[in-house]
Amino acid sequence: MNSRPLHVFVLGILFGVGFFFAPAHAVELVTNGNFESGDTGWARFNDATDLTGKWIISGALVGPFSGLPQLAPPQGANQAFSDQNFVGTRILYQDVSIPTGMNATLSLTLWYHNYATYWIPTTFTSYNEFPVHMIRIDVMNPALVPNASAIGILKTVFVTQTGTPLDQPYKTVTADLSQFAGQSIRLRFLCIAREALTVGIDQVSLQADPPVPAANTTWGALRASYR
Ligand SMILES: [Ca+2]
């Protein structure tokens, strides 16, 4: 006859359940989100045709096009910042695939300073179509061109609206992108400046986590131990 006390069995069951359902570590889906490896993983729209500005990845504290001061990278030695001395459409983007069934959380650090006294947001991405002066962060359809307008926007993470502060020190921006599990998406950072406007990003992260199984909660483990 087995004389092992009952509580040993209960502890064993609880341990076994906890081990079996132990949560997997989060997976980082963004390549070089801290920009410490330069351009690796990132692409630009406008490099070849626009010589008056672009997204720059460096630790420079002065914009090479504008001569304007930049906030220091909030992490490490590098960040990405959009710098320009003439109106134009400047885009930085990266395509990522979110595994099926995963929860996905986007986070990043954003800062900007608008030397104008207004914002003019639109979903258009050509400064020739309408007066435009804005910063946008969108989840895009990666099958379309990088400067796709409203037709390509799957979710807007951030946009400067009328009334948005003109000066923004380091700010954490987050968004739940779990709805795109099983899909490839494009993270797009867009700046269209009619007047002087500085903007920087760093610490871009898209963490994928498996949903927590019900049995991995305290109640779930207790319930499982009585089966
Ligand atoms: Ca960095």
Convert the pLDDT of each residue in 33-88 to its tens digit: 999 999 999 999 986 566 789 999 999 999 999 999 999 999 999 999 999 988 88
The answer to whether residues 19 and 38 belong to one domain is no
Label residues 186-210 b or e (16+ Cβ within 10 Å = b): bbbbbbbbbebbbbbbbbbbbbbee
Range of the domain at 225: 1-23+213-227
> What's the gap in Å between 54 CA and the centre of ligand 1?
18
Going from the C-alpha of 50 to that of each of 47, 139, 219, the distances in angstroms are: 6, 24, 59
Q: Determine the distance from the C-alpha atom of residue 12 to the mean position of all C-alpha atoms in its chain, rounded to a whole number.
A: 42
Going from the C-alpha of 125 to that of each of 84, 88, 194, the distances in angstroms are: 16, 9, 13
The answer to whether residues 9 and 65 belong to one domain is no
The answer to whether residues 77 and 42 belong to one domain is yes
Tally of domains in the chain: 2
> What's the gap in Å between 160 CA and the centre of ligand 1?
23
The answer to whether residues 54 and 110 belong to one domain is yes
The answer to whether residues 105 and 167 belong to one domain is yes
Residues 6+ apart with CB under 8 A from 173: 106, 107, 108, 109, 110, 137, 157, 158
Q: What is the pLDDT of residue 11?
A: 45
The answer to whether residues 119 and 84 belong to one domain is yes
Q: Which residues of the chain have pLDDT under 70?
A: 1-24, 47-50, 214-227
Q: What is the pLDDT of residue 125?
A: 81
**Nearest CA among 107, 117, 118 for reference residue 170:** 107
The answer to whether residues 3 and 42 belong to one domain is no
The protein residues having their C-beta less than 5 angstroms from ligand 1 (an ion) are 34-35, 73, 75-76, 78, 202
The answer to whether residues 217 and 177 belong to one domain is no
Q: Could you tell me the CATH number of the domain that includes residue 175? A: 2.60.120.260
pTM (2 d.p.): 0.83
Give the β-pairing of 153-159 and 197-209: unpaired
> What's the gap in Å between 31 CA and the centre of ligand 1?
12
The answer to whether residues 5 and 114 belong to one domain is no
The answer to whether residues 195 and 223 belong to one domain is no
